[in-house]
């Protein structure tokens, strides 16, 4: 259900218009809201049943829009969840792989640290890092944490 709107152009008492604009921060209503509320109030005086129907229709439209927004949020959440889970799994596998490589090469790494002769290119490839900085940070950090540097 889509509410159709129509453009209305009218004149208004200047003082009333200024007072409305000065209090907009307090009442948070637009001219459209004010016009519709005023029109509904007048309709309510002469045909309360029709005014009630119009208010219900407007509320149903707002509810339908909120339901659509909720469906969109759920869809986005459903689509992004597997991607995040997959990324987490890949990170965990990479961390596990690096831990295994560190443990199996710790003696060679200790020797390289003792002689201050690291083979950064080889280590970068072995530990699957993107650059030398990451490799050096990881290796030196682990060796220091384990008390080997």
Q: What's the pLDDT tens digit per position in 77-111?
A: 887 766 667 777 888 899 999 999 999 999 999 99
Looking at the domain assignment, is residue 107 inside a domain?
yes
Per-residue pLDDT of 41-85, as tens digits, reads 999 999 999 999 999 999 999 999 999 999 999 988 887 766 667
- CA 40/CA 22 separation, integer angstroms: 23
Within a domain: residue 18?
no
The pTM of the full predicted model, rounded to 2 decimals, is 0.48
- 21: in domain: no
Q: What is the 8-class DSSP label of residue 131?
A: S
Q: Look up the domain containing 116 and give its range.
A: 47-145
Q: How many domains does the chain have?
A: 1
Q: Is residue 29 part of a domain?
A: no
- Cα-Cα end-to-end distance for the chain: 71
Q: Tell whether 65 is covered by a domain.
A: yes
């Amino acid at each position: 259900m889509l509410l159709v709107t129509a453009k209305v152009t009218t004149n208004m008492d200047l003082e009333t218009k200024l007072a409305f604009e000065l209090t907009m921060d307090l009442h948070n209503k637009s001219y459209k809201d004010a016009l519709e509320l005023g029109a509904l109030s007048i309709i309510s005086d002469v045909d309360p049943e029709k005014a009630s129907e119009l208010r219900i229709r407007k509320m149903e439209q707002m509810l339908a829009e909120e339901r659509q927004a909720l469906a969109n949020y759920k869809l986005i959440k459903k689509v992004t969840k597997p991607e995040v889970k997959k990324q987490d799994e890949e990170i965990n596998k990479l961390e596990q792989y690096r831990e295994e490589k560190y443990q199996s090469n710790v003696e060679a790494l200790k020797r390289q640290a003792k002689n201050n002769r690291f083979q950064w290119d080889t280590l970068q490839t072995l530990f699957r890092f993107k650059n030398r900085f990451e490799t050096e940070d990881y290796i030196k950090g682990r060796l220091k944490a384990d008390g080997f540097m």
